[in-house]
Amino acid sequence: MAKNDESVTPSYGLGHADFELERLKVQARLVEPITRRFMVEAGIEAGMRVLDVGSGVGDVALLAAQLVSATGEVIGTDRASIPLAVAAERANAQSLNNVEFRNGDPTEMTFDAPFDAVVGRYVLMYQADPAAMVRKLVAHLRPGGIVVFHEPYRDGVRSFPPVPSYDRGWQLVDDTFRGTGADPIMGIKLHATFTAAGLPSPTMRMECAIAGGPDCSAPTWTMERRPASPWARA
């Protein structure tokens, strides 16, 4: 199987049209503070070498590049070339010289040095066998390296006071995820996933975004629970 052939490689079910890439940026602005807290608490810091998995348009890789500073390095990876081109443009626009992006499957890639951390957001939810993926990614880590994944747990999504059309809309979104093979409650399965991959029992956190009202910058996100990976040291 050709690693970079998107016609045969498992792909992101929502596609890579321009409007979807823009939606990903809006989503990232909403959850970046949560992801940042998870990564900092897990131990991502200046000078580290970080592998970002499923980079998409680059938000997590760019965040990691800020945390590791100029003395560190981030390599972002994705099976799809279209969003990676956007990610590279964004890194260039921000003058971030410590991050690069590579097209391909990171579980099959080779790198010239081990990483201090592997990170990813909304990646394991799209994998047929998340534990197998984590197990392969750990091979890229130095001993004692950090694994951090931020995944959704959407069973808590609801409106209050109840708005039936809103709640039905969320149900349709979840049905779409499941129809593409994604798991909208992957977050709650992270402990089992990490231990099945041979990692120690991870530390887990759960935060939710609460939004509403006409002045809200993200009115489509209400009570979505988003646990970060557990994070664990290999």
pLDDT confidence band for 178 (50 / 70 / 90)? confident
Q: What is the pLDDT of residues 13-64, one digit of tens each?
A: 556 666 566 766 677 677 888 899 999 999 999 999 999 999 999 999 999 9
User: What are the helix and strand counts (H, E) for the chain?
Assistant: 6, 7
**141: which strand partners?**
115
Q: Express each pLDDT in 80-107 by its tens digit.
A: 998 999 999 999 999 999 999 999 999 9
DSSP percent split of the chain into helix, strand, coil, nearest 5: 40, 20, 40
Tens of pLDDT, residue by residue over 114-126, are 999 999 999 999 9
Instruction: Specify the pLDDT at position 2.
Output: 32
Distance CA 193, CA 115 (A): 21
* Fold held by 18-233: Rossmann fold (3.40.50)
> Is pLDDT above 70 for 142?
yes
Which of 51, 66, 42 minimizes the C-alpha distance to 138?
Answer: 51
Nearest to 118 by CA among 96, 135, 94, 132: 135
Contact 112, 49 (CB under 8 A): no
The angle, 0 to 180 degrees and rounded to 10, between the axes of the packed helices 59-68 and 81-93 is: 40
d(CA 10, CA 6) in angstroms, rounded, equals: 7
Q: Token digits for 19?
A: 């409007």
Q: Which amino acid is at 224?
A: E
